[in-house]
A and B are shown apart, each in its own frame.
Chain A
Amino acid sequence: MSAVPRSESETLRGGPAARRARPRAASAPGRLLWRRLTANVGAIIGLVLLAAILLIALLAPLLTPYSPYAITVQQQFRPPSSQHLMGTDDLGRDVGSRVIAGTRISLMVASLVLLLAGGIGVVLGIVSGYRGGVVDEAIMRASDIFLAFPSFLLAMAIVAALGPGLTNAVLAIGLAWWPRYARLMRGQVLRLRQVLYAESARALGAGDARILVRHILPNCLAPLIVQLTMDAGGAILITASLSFVGLGARPPMPEWGFMTALGRQFLLTAWWVPIFPGLAISLTVAAFMFMGDALRDLMDPALRNVGGGWSAA
């Protein structure tokens, strides 16, 4: 599979020797993409933010100055200071440590939502597009119905039925979101099924599975990755919102939306308790949005030249 994003990361890692070892065709688009990405201010903001957030998530246990769970009632409601950069909450827990620990949870939740929704969606979308006929019709009408629900409401109802909790929230959002990927993949497959190289492969005697995996799937990846990047932010937002109304994380989990919800009652006296986790959500979501936006513009040749203020700056 000579997918563009894979070769992009290879370009990042690979030295000159590694580059020579790879076939030219695989690395050229990757390098081009990388060059364009670094010439785009939005992409740079997104990349830097995302890298920082990822690093924080990976190193979370090393970075937290205090235990995110340690309760010290004497330390209650300390305002931000050199000791507690983001202050302490009603139980004397260090808000900064909890925000750092929450990075992991949010990224994990976003990945799981996308894996679930993307997984269901991609499989159904490919089947729908490749099979056509009654199967296609059934899958698409089902996706119509799911898309007709505002996803927050549908997720809310499903979690309410399953019982509150972060795992159930992830499950619910996954169930509410699969049609967007099914639609996307179906469109891609329909487009690619007719292209020359798929037909040549068929003429050479390749089976359906081989054509799908070797020829169609790799070429669907670019739009899928753009969509997933954009939706990662949305996944964090909707989970935080579900937690905020009491359907997601349970205490004492340092989930950002839940921390904001619990801290809300102290807003007027100890604003740092709800505001810092909230800003963490905004920053993470913005990072994904910047990145997704930039990727979309770069991969869509029609958009690349419209109002190019960002890329020229």
Chain B
Amino acid sequence: MTRYVVRRLVSLVFVLWGMTLVTFAVSHVIPADPAAAAAGFNAGAEQIAQYRRELGLDRPLYEQYVRYVGGIVLHGDLGRSVLDDRPVVQDMLTFLPASVELAAAAFLLSVPLGIVFGTFTAVRAGRLSDALTRAFAIFGVSIPVFILALLLQLVFYRDLRWLPAGGRLGVDVAPPHPVTGLLLVDSLLAADWNAFASALRHIALPAITLAIANLAVITRMTRSSILEVLWTDYVRTARAKGLSALRVLRTHVLKNAMPPVITVIGLQVAALIAYVFLVEVIFSWPGIGSYAVRAILGLDFEPIMGITLLFSALYLLVNFLVDLTYLVFDPRIEY
């Protein structure tokens, strides 16, 4: 087991290093003039020349690379945003909590529901429920998350007037004292029920949008994974010796069916990152996605590269942890 963890760690570090090679190539080699790209769209020739010197872009590529990786590893330096003239890392710290809150809400909604739906339809693998789940799953995957968001806005904001269309908090509500940066948590900590209600109403639509997109995939994977286990001999034996269906489901079926589902949930993080970007823009959610899109529209290059590297590393880490959970679910695994 230790050997497995060590091996996975080594490959993790290797892939991380490879990622810096790719982002370095994208930011330093692909653009016709990286200095012009980094200096921003409106920069004059003098400013660009100054940038070139400052960033060492007139040095040989390998020197630039060493400097680039050194900056990231030693100083957490992901460059500077031209638009607001702040280090990208600081910007990210400002915008990250909103995104984390949204993504977490979506996960908390979709993962349990997806596993329940998937299990339910697998156990009752009749024709109709089966067909309906698969149709739902396909449409859930096919509908672009931004259209889903717009449709929900139409129904719940424009027509029913139940929920707000954007933002994190009502304009007339004072934000709670920041502790975690997550408004739902902070307002609870401050026992500020007014703010909590407002935050909850504001997060509802974007979180539901993300959850629906996620739900389809998890339901589908859970269903097929459980179907594979449901007809095995050990499940039949457990039933035959008189265990209740629920108990067999919990102790025998679910435990054996979970690893692939967890893998899919880990891989879904990639989709979720993309979804969060799009959904944040539509719901004016002040998170990393809105920040990234503002950077894209303003041709502010370094934040885009910083976000790519940071979130890709995060995604890698999540999947590393997912691999480790296999050890918990299946103690037989030895590598």
- B-contacting residues of A (Cβ < 8 Å)? 41-42, 141-142, 144-146, 148-154, 156-158, 160-162, 164, 233, 237-238, 240-241, 244-247, 257, 260-261, 264, 267-268, 271, 274-275, 278-279, 281-283, 285-286, 289-290, 293, 306-307, 309-310, 312-313
Contact = CB atoms under 8 A, between A and B. Distances in A.
Contacts of A307: 122, 125, 130, 223-224, 227
A238 B273 CA distance: 13
9 contacts: A158-B30, A161-B31, A245-B296, A274-B147, A281-B143, A290-B138, A307-B130, A307-B227, A309-B128
A274 B139 contact: no
B330 interface: no
A172 B138 CA distance: 26
Interface in B283-312: 292-293, 296-297, 301, 304-305, 307-308, 311-312
Given A145-B18, A307-B130, A313-B131, A154 B150 contact: no
Interface of B: 11, 14-15, 18-19, 21-23, 26-27, 30-31, 37, 122, 125-128, 130-131, 134, 138-139, 141-144, 146-147, 150-151, 153-154, 157-158, 223-224, 227-228, 269-271, 273-274, 277-278, 281-282, 292-293, 296-297, 301, 304-305, 307-308, 311-312, 315-316
Most buried by B among A283, A309, A313: A309
Contact of B296 (A144, A160, A310): A160
Nearest to B154: A271
Given A157-B26, A157-B305, A148 B312 contact: yes
Contacts of A153: 270, 273-274, 307-308, 311-312
Most buried by A among B130, B142, B273, B307: B142
Given A42-B134, A307-B125, A152 B23 contact: no
Given A245-B277, A285-B143, 10 more contacts: A42-B134, A149-B312, A150-B273, A161-B30, A233-B142, A238-B274, A274-B150, A278-B144, A286-B142, A306-B227
A286 B142 CA distance: 5
A175 to B, nearest CB: 9
A252 B291 CA distance: 26
Contacts of A306: 224, 227-228
B144 A310 contact: no
A309 B312 contact: no
Contacts of B14: 141
A282 B143 contact: yes
Contact of B131 (A164, A247, A260, A310): A310
Contact of A245 (B27, B151, B278, B307): B278
Given A160-B296, A306-B227, A260 B312 contact: no
Contact of B316 (A148, A274, A293): A148
A182 to B, nearest CB: 15
Given A241-B144, A260-B146, A310-B130, A152 B274 contact: yes
A42 B311 CA distance: 36
Contacts of A156: 292, 296, 304, 308
A309 B27 contact: no
Contact of A246 (B27, B224, B227, B296): B296
A268 B142 contact: no
B120 to A, nearest CB: 13
A249 B121 CA distance: 41
Contacts of B271: 150, 152
A37 B275 CA distance: 33
B291 to A, nearest CB: 12
Contacts of B151: 275
A150 B268 CA distance: 10
A150 B274 contact: yes
A179 to B, nearest CB: 12
Contacts of A290: 138
A282 B146 contact: no
Given A146-B22, A161-B26, A309 B126 contact: yes
A264 B283 CA distance: 11
Contacts of A154: 22, 308, 312
